[in-house]
Structures are given as C-alpha cells and as structure tokens.
C-alpha cells in the first residue's frame, strides 16, 4: 500500500509539473507529452537507424551481404565486437548530438538514452551482469569542460536497463581534437590512450561491456577503449552511440 501511495504521489507530481512546465519538443518545438520528444519526433528517432551492419553500425542496403560485417569493416580489427547507433549522424540526430555537447543540455541525455535503448531491442538482451561504461575524457579536458556527455548518456542507459554503471577506464593520453583527422591519424593518436584502473580490472573478467559514447566515426576512440577493456579481461565489448557518422570509412 505504501509503495502504491508513493507511486501515485510521483505520478501526481509529474502530472503537475507537465501542467505548469509543459515539455517543448527540442526537434519540432511542439508541446510534448510525458517526455521532451513529441510522439511524432520520438517515432522518427525510433526508426532512424534502418538496415545497418551489426559489427560497425554503418548503414547497409537491403541486398548487402551482412555475414562477418559490411564492406567497410569486414576482415578488419575494430577493437569492439559490435556497434549500435540510434541512427546516422545527420539531420536531427546530428543536431541532438551537438546540443548534448553543452552542459546546459545535459538534461537531454537520459531521454536520448531511453530512446536509444527502446529503438534497439538487441541492447535489452544483454546479460544481467553487463557493465555500462562511458568513454572517459582526459582529466585536463574534463576539468576544463566540467562535463562529459558520454557519462551522462551512460547513466541514462544504465538506469533504463537496470545494469551497473562502472568507470573502469582512464584516459591516460591527452589527445588533440580529431574532427578533421583521417582514419590512420586517428588510430595513431588513440593508440594506448586508455587503460583500466587496477581495482576495476578484478571485476571485468568474462563480462560484457556496453561502451557508451555520443558519436562513432572511424571507430578509433571506441576501438582503443575496447582494447583496453579486453586486455583487462572483458569478454565482449559493444559500442553504443547516438550518431553513426558516415563519410570517413573504417578501412
């Protein structure tokens, strides 16, 4: 009875909050319902992915050979075992990722994480002892920015899936911005950029890790982080992102 009353109180507070401070969809600027995304825009996000490669999350045609990855990643070492994205890094998803980079928009992270999990049923089939791990920033950049959108997203994913949020990774190299760098340069810069904290390594053995970031481009960052996790004993690493950028192939 007590739990039921608490639930009613929470629902009543949410209803009152929605009445006094109604959500405005950040995509179309129309009033939402019980979330910031209006039903139409949320549905568009849920269906944004289309047919993609299960290995690198790159969009694929309906007649593509999906065995062992797509033409972009087949036969290549990525570091992670699979990748899942809400959709291509363009249009609305690109705009949302750019919003999320600013700390004042951190409130958007749990809602995006919820849509991502709901859009990809495979995520909900992860082992119950899996860890949700954000890609960390170097301490200098973390200190300068005071905020890491990957961590905010990971918290949302962890809560939605009821999985443990863990921070075993440490970024040991302060890398430059890589927005205009090519694949080879990115791979070289990110090599050995991460390590696993010694205490955290004790719990990684045989575990599946959901490695969370906002954008996947060449895979250099997630790949380097995944390799560090695997060296520490993780059995499987799945990269989980909002946007999958095209135009810079993994080859």
Per-residue pLDDT tens for 48-94?
Answer: 988 899 899 998 877 666 667 887 788 888 999 999 999 999 999 99
SS3 readout for 194-245: EEECHHHHCCCCCCEEEEECCEECCCHHHHHHHHHHHHCCCCEEEEEEEEEC
Structure tokens at 192: 């050995």
- Residues 154, 166: Cα–Cα separation, whole Å: 9
pLDDT of 174-210, one tens digit each?
A: 766 655 555 666 666 678 889 999 888 889 999 999 9
Which of helix, strand or coil describes residue 138? coil
Structure-block tokens of residue 208: 């599946």
In three-state secondary structure terms, 131 is strand
User: Would you state the pLDDT for residue 19?
Assistant: 40
CB proximity list for 201: less than 8 A, separation 6 or greater: 168, 232, 233
| The dihedral formed by the CA atoms of 141, 145, 147 and 150, expressed in degrees to the nearest 10 | -50
Alpha-carbon span 102 to 93, nearest angstrom: 15
pTM: 0.85
Among 73-82, 110-119, 157-166, 228-237, the minimum mean pLDDT is found in 73-82
Number of H helices, E strands in the chain: 9, 8
Query: Which residue's structure tokens are 């750019």?
Result: 98
- For residue 158, pLDDT beyond 80: yes
Q: Which 8-state DSSP code applies to residue 182?
A: -
Determine the pLDDT at residue 152.
96
Residue 64, pLDDT score: 64
Q: What is the mean pLDDT of the chain?
A: 84
């Amino acid at each position: 009875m007590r739990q039921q009353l608490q639930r009613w109180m929470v629902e009543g507070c949410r209803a009152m909050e929605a009445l006094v401070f109604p959500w405005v969809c950040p995509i179309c600027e129309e009033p939402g319902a019980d979330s910031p995304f209006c039903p139409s825009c949320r549905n568009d996000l849920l269906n944004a992915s289309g047919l993609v490669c299960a290995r690198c999350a790159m969009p694929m045609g309906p007649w593509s050979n999906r065995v062992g990855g797509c033409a972009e990643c087949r036969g290549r070492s990525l570091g992670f075992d699979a990748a899942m994205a809400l959709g291509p890094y363009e249009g609305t998803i690109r705009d949302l990722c750019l919003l999320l980079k600013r700390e004042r928009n951190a409130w958007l992270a749990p809602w995006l994480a919820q849509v991502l999990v709901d859009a990809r049923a495979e995520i909900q089939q992860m082992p119950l002892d899996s860890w949700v791990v954000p890609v960390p920033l170097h301490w200098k950049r973390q200190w300068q920015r005071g905020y890491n959108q990957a961590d905010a997203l990971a918290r949302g994913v962890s809560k939605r899936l009821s999985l443990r949020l863990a921070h075993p990774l440490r970024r040991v190299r302060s890398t430059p911005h890589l927005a205009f760098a090519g694949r080879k340069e990115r791979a070289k810069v990110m090599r050995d950029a991460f390590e696993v904290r010694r205490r955290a390594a004790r719990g990684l053995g045989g575990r599946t890790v959901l490695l969370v970031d906002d954008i996947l481009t060449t895979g250099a960052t997630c790949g380097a982080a995944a390799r560090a996790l695997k060296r520490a004993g993780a059995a499987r690493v799945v990269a989980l992102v909002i946007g999958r950028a095209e135009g810079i192939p993994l080859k």
